[in-house]
Amino acid sequence: MPVLYKASFGYLLRHPWQLGLALLGICIGVAVIVAVDIANSSSRKAFLLSMNTINGEASHQIVAGPGGVDEELYVHLRVAGGMRNIAPIVTGYVSVDGQTLQVLGVDVFAERTFRAYTQPATGRRSTLNESTFGEFLTKPGAVLMSSAVATKLGLAIGEDFTITSAGRDYPALLIGTTQSSSSSAALANILVVDIASAQHWFDKIGHLSRIDVRLPADQGAAASILAELPPGTELLSAESRTRSITEMSTAFMTNLTAMSLLALLIGTFLIYNSVSFAVLQRRGLIGVLRALGLTRRETFSLIVAEGAALGIVGALFGVLLGVWLGEQLLLLVSQSINDLYFRVTVTNVTVSPLSLLVGFVAGVGATGLAAMVPAIEASGYRPQLSLARSVLERRTRRLLPSIALAGLAAAALALIILPLSGTSLVAGLTAMFLLILGFALCIPVMVDTVSRLAAGVAGRFGGATARLTVRGVSASLSRTGVAIVALAVAVSATVGVSVMVDSFRLAVNDWIGNSLRADIYVGVPGGSLDPELVRDIAQLPGVAEISSSRRIWLEMPQGRTRVLILNRAGPGYGGVELLDAEAEETWRSFEADGAVLVSEPYAYRNAVARGSTLSLNTPLGPQAFNIAATYRSYDANQGTVLMSRTTYRRYWHDEAIDSIGVYLAAGAASQSVMERMREISKGRQSLLMRSNRELRDLSLQIFDRTFVITDVLYWLAVGVAIIGILGSMLALQLERAREFAILRAIGMTPWQLGSMVTLQSGFIGLLSGLAALPLGLLMAWVLIDVINRRSFGWQMDMSIAPSFLLTALALSTGAALMAGLYPAYRAASARPALAMREE
């Protein structure tokens, strides 16, 4: 290694805490990026893997509306049409011992070219034998599963068990297990049964969930199938179908990624801080090197190389930490995806080299960028003309207006981007980062002004020591500025996110309260209610009215639409809050004229509004529906179309009801009505009953669970910022060792000196907190009005609880006070004589 670099690393090694904190900052920043990426991609990959396993070799799928595809269509295509590369599928979810598993109902004769259920295991082959086949085909409830699932469920081959589908229990029999190797790990949670069993379990007699199709690449084959399809039945590419499902979660994942970038941004400030200190402290040394003939460019490279080396080491540790953290986050992420979007069981953490590389490059790149500024500064040093501190501070202060101006420019750019970028989420996030950056650049000016003013005030009331304490902050702005900015950004993130989440929660709470009008809600997991049971419930004493709902997906080549079919109870549709239309007229056309309502996200996403029409795929072919109004809904970010049962009946022959709302007669007790419902449903369907209160609590629980990960991420960001403050205070203490020594020499006690350092740190924290409040509120506004809207299409009012603001102030001041303790201790315990001899 050239001696030049030895000199540089010798310095770093002699200041291990500075080195350590810088590394830690990069490390955490990188770790968060890698972790979020791992959690996201593992969830997505697990889903895609299971879809791929389930889709097998199918290139296309034939799907139809709520009832599924008529099985006669399949027979027609095969027997009359002579199509051979098609396979019927009946699929759904059941629960076994409380575990939810996907059932794949297949026709084994059609399967052979579609799916590989097992890998040929080495050693023992799968347990399938000649009688397995007969049992599979002829025994109702005969199930094949991977040996892993069998072990998990504690089942042995030949053992009977019970599966529950749509609240009904069915006998099942494990007739064989398959060996699942890693590539078919997705099968781990799938039960394979004969199609007849699946039709029985999912109440799909006569119908199929879909027909898998393997088409050659040419278009002619697709066209010949299309000609055979009845209206309302569609031939869709399997890949695009999978994509449209995964796309639902894209916005959610993008938001997580943005959060992780915020952590890195704060980490970058920290790196900037560390490298700047390292440069400042060696300005003498750099002067000597320049005098010895080191060119500006060489000086610049030296500092950047130093930063890059820090970045590489920090990023390496960050990647390792990220893998660990990713596993922790994965649970949270997959839980939220299950709650909100689609069912995914993540059995493997997918650590793709790409996500590690991205994290690593981001870390090294951010460090390189952060080191650039001090490197430019260092290369500007005159050889040997050792810079006096005061000159440096003067220069920093001279720069403040330009920095602030750059900040204002960034903010202005953000404000230009926002209205011009339409609905682009990435542009929204870019604008948010620009705003944060812009605001952050203005912070030093504010700090300078505030601390000058405060110094006067402090001097008047607290004497020279207090004045010295406060003045110290602005006097050493070249060092403290960045720490203040980093802490302010981190704290503002907590303010922004808390205000956003709180406003959101409040809106959701109101909405739930408004929507949930019935006293009891009844449904069955993963299925429909027995219509006769619904009739019986309506007749129960104590039941005044029932409303019903049905949720279906309608698919078209352009994408899928979620439709909610409502049948109102006596009190009407009071639970639906209309946003842009007058109630009476809307509900009349909703009931009588076949008009539909669209949820706010739907309207936003598809750019439709009251008065426009939308097209839905019905058994009579695509039909246009008038939109009578937009309504408020936070239930599905892909958007929902609301339709009346009357309208639904006009097109679909589907009387299924997914859930009902029970309105109690005056004086009836909900407990006893629930008891009666349990009574009459016994042996027919086990019902999932929730009181209004329970359902509301449950909804909020899911809501809260979704934001746990957000909390985790911003606390990590705060952690990084606190490390930054600690680092700054330590550096400052080292920097000012001589000054402290003089103060001690002229009679300041160690306690006084320690207090001064601690208070100074606390004052920095207070300033950060003050700066964080407006930035946080700005962030909250962007999150609510731009990011949330662009991600999910939701709109809500911002509500600011004063407690959040106070908490933020307390957090930043407290954190900085804590961070000041150790430097204070060091300053106080230094021997003045030694310190004075240095330099």
Partner 1 sequence: MRKGLLFIVFIVILIVFWPYSSVQHAPAADPTEFVSGAPRLARLLGAADSEGYRQALTARPFRFPEDHGPHPEYRNEWWYVTGNLHGENGQRFGFELTLFRFSVTATSVADDSAWRTKQVYIGHFAITDLRARKFRVATRYSRGGVGLAGAQSNPFRVWLEQWELGELPPDGGVDESAQAWYLRAMDDDIAIDLTLMPRYAPVSNGIDGLSKKSAAPGNASYYYSLPRLRTTGTLRSGEQIFEVSGLSWLDREWGSGGLSLDQQGWDWFALQLSDGSSLMFYDLRKTDGTRDLYSAGTFVAKDGTATPLSRDEVVIDVLEYWDSPAGGRYPMGWRMTIASHELSLRISPILRGQELDTLVRYWEGAVDVAGERRNNAISGRGYVELTGYAADSPAP
Partner 2 sequence: MVNSNVQIRLSHLSRSFQEGAQQHVVLQDLSANFYEGETVALRGRSGSGKSTLLNVISGIDAPDSGRIEIAGLDITAMSERDRTLFRRLHIGFVYQAFNLVPTLTVADNIRLVLQLNKVEDAEGSRRIRELLTAVGLADRRHSYPDVLSGGEQQRVAIARALAHRPRIVLADEPTGNLDDDTADDVLSLLGDLVRQEGGTMIVATHSAKVAARSDRVLELQNGQLIADSRHG
The total of other beta-carbon atoms located within 10 Å of residue 206's CB is 10
Question: Residue-wise over 48-60: b if at least 16 C-beta within 10 A, else e?
Answer: bbbbbbbbbebbb
Binder of residue 112, out of partner 1, partner 2, none (CB less than 5 to 8 A by kind): partner 1
CB of 81 to partner 1, least distance (A): 8
Q: Which is nearer to partner 1, 83 or 455 (CB)?
A: 83
205 part of the interface to partner 1, by CB under 8 A: yes
User: Do residues 272 and 324 touch, judged by C-beta distance below 8 A?
Assistant: no
Binder of residue 138, out of partner 2, partner 1, none (CB less than 5 to 8 A by kind): partner 1
Give 345's DSSP letter. -
Residue 727 makes CB contacts below 8 A (sequence gap 6+) with 17, 18, 21, 22, 25, 270, 273, 274, 277, 483
296 part of the interface to partner 2, by CB under 8 A: yes
- Which member of 59, 95, 100, 119 binds partner 1 (CB under 8 A)? 119
Exposed, middle or buried by CB within 10 Å (0-12, 13-18, 19+), for 833? exposed
Question: Rounded to the nearest 10 degrees, how much is the dihedral formed by the CA atoms of 282, 283, 289, 295?
Answer: 120
Q: Which is nearer to partner 1, 108 or 708 (CB)?
A: 108
Q: Find, among 716, 771, 783, 709, the residue nearest to 270 by Cα.
A: 716
59 part of the interface to partner 1, by CB under 8 A: no
CA 688 to CA 538: how far, in whole Å? 16
Say how far residue 704 (Cα) sits from the centre of its chain: 13
Residue 242 makes CB contacts below 8 A (sequence gap 6+) with 48, 51, 52, 55
- Which member of 32, 294, 709, 717 binds partner 2 (CB under 8 A)? 294
Q: Find, among 449, 434, 537, the residue nearest to 489 by Cα.
A: 434
CB of 178 to partner 1, least distance (A): 6
Binder of residue 666, out of partner 1, partner 2, none (CB less than 5 to 8 A by kind): none
CA 339 to CA 43: how far, in whole Å? 13
Q: For the packed helices 802-829 and 692-735, what is the interaxial angle rounded to 10 degrees?
A: 30
The piece of 197-205, 392-400, 467-475, 628-636 that touches partner 1 (CB under 8 A) is 197-205
User: Do residues 237 and 99 touch, judged by C-beta distance below 8 A?
Assistant: no
Binder of residue 140, out of partner 1, partner 2, none (CB less than 5 to 8 A by kind): partner 1
511 part of the interface to partner 1, by CB under 8 A: no
CA 334 to CA 355: how far, in whole Å? 18
- Which member of 383, 462, 559, 774 binds partner 2 (CB under 8 A)? 383
688 part of the interface to partner 1, by CB under 8 A: no
The piece of 76-84, 264-272, 759-767, 810-818 that touches partner 1 (CB under 8 A) is 76-84
User: Do residues 445 and 479 touch, judged by C-beta distance below 8 A?
Assistant: no
Per the structure block, which two tokens stand in for 148? 């892993």
Q: Which is nearer to partner 1, 56 or 754 (CB)?
A: 56
Binder of residue 419, out of partner 2, partner 1, none (CB less than 5 to 8 A by kind): none
The piece of 92-100, 291-299, 410-418, 481-489 that touches partner 2 (CB under 8 A) is 291-299
CB of 168 to partner 1, least distance (A): 14
Q: What is the largest CA-CA distance in the chain?
A: 105
Q: Which is nearer to partner 2, 393 or 785 (CB)?
A: 393
Give 346's DSSP letter. -
Of residues 132 through 151, those in contact with partner 1 by CB under 8 A are 132-134, 137-140
User: Do residues 366 and 311 touch, judged by C-beta distance below 8 A?
Assistant: yes
- Which member of 44, 45, 60, 200 binds partner 1 (CB under 8 A)? 200
| First-to-final CA distance of the chain | 28
Binder of residue 122, out of partner 2, partner 1, none (CB less than 5 to 8 A by kind): partner 1
**How many chain residues interact with partner 2 (CB under 8 A)?**
27
Binder of residue 288, out of partner 2, partner 1, none (CB less than 5 to 8 A by kind): partner 2
165 part of the interface to partner 1, by CB under 8 A: no
118 part of the interface to partner 1, by CB under 8 A: yes
Binder of residue 71, out of partner 1, partner 2, none (CB less than 5 to 8 A by kind): partner 1
Q: Which is nearer to partner 2, 385 or 806 (CB)?
A: 385
82 part of the interface to partner 1, by CB under 8 A: yes
Strands 640-644 and 559-567, by their bridges, are parallel
CA 706 to CA 703: how far, in whole Å? 5
CB of 398 to partner 2, least distance (A): 14
Q: Which is nearer to partner 1, 132 or 257 (CB)?
A: 132
835 part of the interface to partner 2, by CB under 8 A: no
Q: Which is nearer to partner 1, 206 or 531 (CB)?
A: 206
Q: Give me the residues that bind partner 1 (CB under 8 A), please.
A: 56-57, 71-72, 75, 78-80, 82, 84, 107-109, 111-120, 122, 125-126, 128-130, 132-134, 137-140, 178, 194-197, 199-200, 205-206
Q: Give me the residues that bind partner 2 (CB under 8 A), please.
A: 2-4, 6-11, 13-14, 284-285, 288-297, 382-385
